[in-house]
Chain A
Amino acid sequence: MFNYVIKRLLAMIPTLIVISLLVFIIIQLPPGDYLESHIAELESQGESVDPAQIEFLREEYGLDKTIWEQYFVWVTGFMQGDLGYSFEYNLPVSEVIGDKMWLTIIVSFFTIIITWIIAFPIGMYSATHPYSWGDYGLTFLGFLGLATPNFLLALVMLYLANQYFGTSIGGLMDEQFIDQPWSWDKLVSVCEHLWIPVLVIGTSGTAGMIRRLRANLLDELRKPYVVTARAKGMGELKLLTKYPLRLSLNFFIADIGSLLPSVISGAEVVAVVLSLPTTGPILLAALQSQDMYLAGSFLMFLAILTVVGVLVSDILLAMLDPRIRLQGGMKK
């Protein structure tokens, strides 16, 4: 086990190097650089910038260097914990992202909980009552959530919440609470706003989870040990939860790998539509304006979380299910 973890950790290094290269190249692929998109934006508002100023900024930001020099500066800084400098905000990247991180985690946390609360009972019900009206009906609901575009649902909910509950449009709290210390009123305001993104993002995830849980459970429920236990007169609930449910949870653990990064990034498009103060819109804006260190460092951060998440879920799986071998194919 120990050797396995060491090996996996070592394998991460080349993976991350390749990812960092890819990230950097893809951010640089669109024509122009940050300054050009910045000038274009100013011009569309009627403002203008003088050419000498631009030369000065290009030098200041190091954009006059070759792409490989820029890459090298970024990567060496990143390894020392310096995430670089955001041109758009005129601030170090860590300060830009830092503030938004905890709100993002709150939204993601509640979203995941909601997804589980909806998906688990439905999945279990569908598996124990397969091909019934209830199974079809609930699965249909789940698919509806998956098939409706999130941004559309978000807009509809915004409108309804504003019309019937008087909730202010977008954001995570009423404006007077922003940057204020926590209070009961602030908490209430956050709760008033939080349910929309949580529900919208949550519904899209439920369908997948329902179907996977149902399929895994169905496999288990037909196995002889279940039949035997039932023949011996075991209660239905205990019969379901004692072994089959636990065995069908493997997919759930395997999901952690992708869960970790999504907790940090939040759902980008929904966050933009709802104007949430989370990291998603920042990432999107950074990519649009070619604010390369902000975008690059953030994507790298997500990549590291993915790689670590996959490792964690692999180790957890091995610990939870003794049938899983660490060295694939050895004992066949």
Chain B
Amino acid sequence: MMKYILTACLSLLLAHQAIAIPEVPALQEQVDKGLLPPVVERLPESPKIQSFDGREVGQYGGQIKMLMGKSKDIRMMVVYGYSRLVGYDDKLKLQADILEKIDVEEGRKFTLHIRPGHRWSDGTEFTAEDFRFFWQDKANHPVLSPYGPPPAMMRSSEIPRFKVIDKYTVSYTWKVPNPYFLPALAAPRPLYIYMPAHYMKQFHADYLSDEELAEKVATAKKRNWRGLFVSKGRQYKLTNPALPTLQPWMNTTKPPSERFVFKRNPYFHRVDPQGKQLPYVDDVIINIASGGLIPAKTGSGESDLQARHLRLDNYTFLKEGESNNDFKVNIWGTGRGAHIALYPNLTAKEPKWRKLMQNSDFRRALSLAVNRDEINQVVYFGLAKPNADTVLPDSPLYKEKYAKAYAQYNPAHASLLLDSIGLVHKDSRGIRLFEDGTPVEILVQTAGESTEETDVLALVKDSWRKVGVQMYIKPLQREVLRNRVFSGDAVMTTWFGLPNGLPTAQMNPQQLAPTRQDQYQWSQWGRYYETQEGEEPSLPEVQRLVELSNAWASAASAAEQTKIWHEMLNIRAEQVYSIGLISDILQPVVVHKRLKNVPEKAFYNWDPGAFFGIYDMSSFWYEKEAQ
């Protein structure tokens, strides 16, 4: 009986709490003084209620200290904060976040509903005007955007029709479906289609007299008003502390600085299941230190939440620091298809290399001649996976045959394949010869910032030598490497594998087809897709990939999309366009012992993931210290 009464009391108490939303303690003083309205008025009429599935409701207070390598890295707070019009949750499902809801008709008409009463961090209401201002006065302004709206809003040179329906509703309509629109809004570097109009109008030529504008340009020491407007309105880079934001924390420090203080946004739109306004943590402090020192600083307890600049080989050192400091080291998965992959350049300049690299049996042979288990044991303590460059086991699209395709070490099979494509003769060193008598010596160019790549390559070099292929390793600076790939001078390079190793069928499969110049195995073909310059893909399988990628965009059902993904993944696995050397590498994540709601097991990935973003950093909280 007693138990029932207690439960009843408790539920009454909870219900009562839900009605009277408690004020954020850190803001109480400002509210009492009348500088801020009380929390009920600061929240939108219908705030975003976070689902706390597997998470605990927390307490307010504290600060999270983090380390970054450069002062421009503060843009990561937009990534970690992950406040988006629509965003992924931790199950990678798209859902409305800033928006109350979004209606999609036929995949081409998007109606965006803003939460009435939602406010910018300075207290001004967030309305359709902010969307209109961006669309008319920024994205389509002849001076500010001479190249037109951002590419993610274009469907083959078609600009969407934008309409303000009422104060809280806007719509974008294309003639054909645009499956790229929502993922772009949810991206870690989001597509911004809104801007704080009330603030940015101060710097816009259409809203100012010439004298006023000239004066503002002069005081800001800019060359023209475009420069002024751009520098004041960097919503992603956060360099202007005065710019209102919708993120959980707002920057209060003007760069350059060694220490950036992010204070809580008093008008943030998310609440926990009890109705308490998020974020729980009052401040985020970002200290700038040189990248090389960050593992050491983290190991001595100078960061409360750190993954950036930490690598697997810091793990033992960090573990050692656990005993003396207040942090624990979690190990997260990463989301790239492969941690390191070799990219044969199918658009290499020299004809004989181009021909060889385009030969699928040659690529298969090279892949078979890599001893991935050895790499895993020697360099990664056996903690990684010796798989090919494809989607990871946690993706619903994963099949073991993709991961194992040509990934088993089999020098005999490799030799057979090499013999079969005419590389039969060998010189006195045992290196295979081209028909013109020159040896098959592959120069692998790599971005040599750490010794990790070169360590791995040294192992590959030995195993390739056994099948009669000689490798030379040349570390280069990243930008030089990039340009050498684009020009076709580099025959083979190393880079990460697929950018998104955890896709669902609803995500764009563009990464599998030549669609971007920075895909190092076919940069010219990718360039052709992007800008119609460069070369058209010449191999039938590659043409098929492009076809499939385009077909996905107009696919009607999830089943069809899944089918397209699998056909593409199958082609990739069979054709070995990139030779994955090692995958599923682990990422150490250092977390303060009392910082709650940080998942122990999770994925540390850029897109999708936004690093800490999809795990909702605004719900992280500090447990009070045990007295």
Contacts and interface: CB of A to CB of B under 8 A. Distances in A.
> Do A and B come together as binding partners?
yes
Contacts of B142: none
Contacts of B530: 51
A95 B478 contact: no
Nearest to A170: B293
Given A37-B479, A47-B606, A96 B256 contact: yes
A175 to B, nearest CB: 5
A178 B258 contact: yes
Nearest to A38: B479
Contact of A169 (B237, B255, B297): B297
B231 interface: yes
Contact of A40 (B147, B226, B479): B479
B65 A285 contact: no
Contacts of B606: 45-47
Contacts of B257: 99, 178-179
Interface in A239-266: none
Interface string B530-548: 1100000000000000000
Interface in B450-509: 477-483, 496, 499
B297 A32 contact: no
Interface stretch (B158-166, B202-210, B282-290): B282-290
A281 interface: yes
A189 interface: no
Interface string A144-168: 0000000000000011001000001
A175 B287 contact: yes
B293 A37 contact: no
B245 interface: no
Contact of B258 (A50, A60, A158, A171): A171
A277 interface: yes
A72 interface: no
A112 B256 CA distance: 28
Interface in A8-57: 30-32, 36-37, 39-41, 43-48, 50-52, 55-56
B352 interface: no
B289 A171 contact: yes
A32 B480 contact: yes
Nearest to B146: A56
Among B231, B257, B285, B300, the most chain A Cβ lie within 10 Å of the Cβ of B300
A57 to B, nearest CB: 9
A13 B292 CA distance: 41
Nearest to A155: B296
Interface in B145-182: 145-148, 150-151
A208 interface: no
Nearest to A92: B221
B16 interface: no
A273 interface: yes
A80 interface: no
A170 B607 contact: no
Contacts of B496: 46
A162 to B, nearest CB: 5
Contacts of A171: 258, 289
B258 A46 contact: no
Interface in B54-69: 65
A180 B518 CA distance: 44
B231 A90 contact: yes
Among B297, B499, B518, B531, the most chain A Cβ lie within 10 Å of the Cβ of B297
Contacts of B145: 56
A192 interface: no
Q: Can you list the 7 inter-chain pairs with the closest CB atoms, starting with the nearest?
A: A46-B606, A40-B478, A52-B147, A178-B259, A40-B479, A275-B290, A37-B479
Interface of B: 65, 70-72, 145-148, 150-151, 188-189, 221, 226-227, 230-231, 234, 237, 239, 253, 255-259, 285, 287, 289-290, 292-293, 296-297, 300, 302, 447, 477-483, 496, 499, 516, 518, 530-531, 606-607
Given A31-B479, A32-B480, A178-B287, 10 more contacts: A32-B483, A36-B482, A36-B483, A37-B477, A43-B518, A51-B530, A169-B297, A170-B290, A171-B258, A275-B289
